[in-house]
Amino acid sequence: MPNQGQEETVALESIRATSTVSTVSTVTAATTPTSTTALPSTIPAESETASPAPTPTTITKPIDAGLAAPAVAGLGLDSESNGEFSCNICFDTSMSPVLTLCGHLFCWACLHQWLEAQHQNPTCPVCKAGCAQDKVIPIYGRGKEQLDPRSTTPKRPAGQRPEPLRNPNQTGFALGTGQVTFTGTMLPPFMFTPFGIQYGATYSGTIGGNGAVQTPMQAYVSRMFFMLGTLILVGILLY
């Protein structure tokens, strides 16, 4: 839900004066539940798999993982951050950042050039995982995307927006607190309340909560109980 994320961060704009890449991402992470899965996960993935390619010669991971980071810090291009958000190809802070499904961060222009050059079998430059152009995930931070009118690179692929499990505008869930409060007794429409908590937690805004993502199993059980409840309701009404 990139759009929602942007709106929320804009609201916080007045609170924070600085605009370093790292603060942007932490705030986006804190405010948008959906983007939390994307952004912080790049960090461990980065440090784990930053060694280029399975090659006959051994390139040891710890040394190589450090290469890109001090590259930028040492150049003074991005001295505040340690290169966590720098493009793996140009080493600069990513412009129009995109993420591969394997979690590697690039400028869209850099990655696009590379994928075009090997369009037969596009692979991630870092880990050589398959990387089709339309599978790339754009990263929408707080800052505005700066488009160079001279650039011939096409626009980034748009973010994918899966249907929410429930309509977020539906009433009955308390937002922001992380707790779902139902007043009153079990009214018929809320027969499945114990499992409704799962939905409530999705909008809580807390990170690391164990109920943030509903597993298919939970969804299935929830649906089961809903059907059971409906059945009982119909039973009560008919007899």
Partner 1 sequence: MFARHLAMNAPAGVNIIDANDFKVWKLGLAGAPGTLYDGEKFQLEFNFGPNYPLESPQVLFVGDNIPVHPHIYSNGHICLDVLYNHWSPVQTVASICLSLQSMLSSCTSKEPPPDNATYVKTARANPKHTAWAFHDDTV
Note the residues at the interface with partner 1 (CB under 8 A).
50, 52-53, 55-60, 63-64, 66-68, 70-71, 74-75, 88-90, 110, 113-114, 117, 125-126, 128
Q: Per DSSP, what are the bridge partners of residue 98?
A: 106, 138
Q: Residue 66 or 159: which CB sits closer to partner 1?
A: 66
Place of tokens 């839900």: 1
- State the minimum distance, in angstroms, from the CB of residue 41 to partner 1: 19
Cα–Cα dist 214/220, whole Å: 10
Q: Residue 114 or 226: which CB sits closer to partner 1?
A: 114
Q: Residue 61 or 223: which CB sits closer to partner 1?
A: 61
Backbone angles phi, psi at 99, to 5 degrees: -120, 135
Q: Residue 50 or 180: which CB sits closer to partner 1?
A: 50
- State the minimum distance, in angstroms, from the CB of residue 207 to partner 1: 30
**Cα-based distances in Å from 29 to 8, 11, 138, 214:** 11, 14, 15, 18
3-state helix, strand, coil in the chain (%, to 5): 45, 5, 50
Residues in contact with 56: Cβ distance below 8 Å, sequence separation at least 6, in sequence order: none
- State the minimum distance, in angstroms, from the CB of residue 125 to partner 1: 5
Nearest to 37 by CA among 82, 103, 135: 103
Q: Residue 56 or 176: which CB sits closer to partner 1?
A: 56
Q: Residue 64 or 148: which CB sits closer to partner 1?
A: 64
- State the minimum distance, in angstroms, from the CB of residue 101 to partner 1: 17
- State the minimum distance, in angstroms, from the CB of residue 60 to partner 1: 7
Question: Token pair for residue 5?
Answer: 């994320």
Cα–Cα dist 99/107, whole Å: 9
Residues in contact with 90: Cβ distance below 8 Å, sequence separation at least 6, in sequence order: 107, 110
Cα–Cα dist 76/193, whole Å: 55
Place of tokens 């810090």: 73
- State the minimum distance, in angstroms, from the CB of residue 75 to partner 1: 6
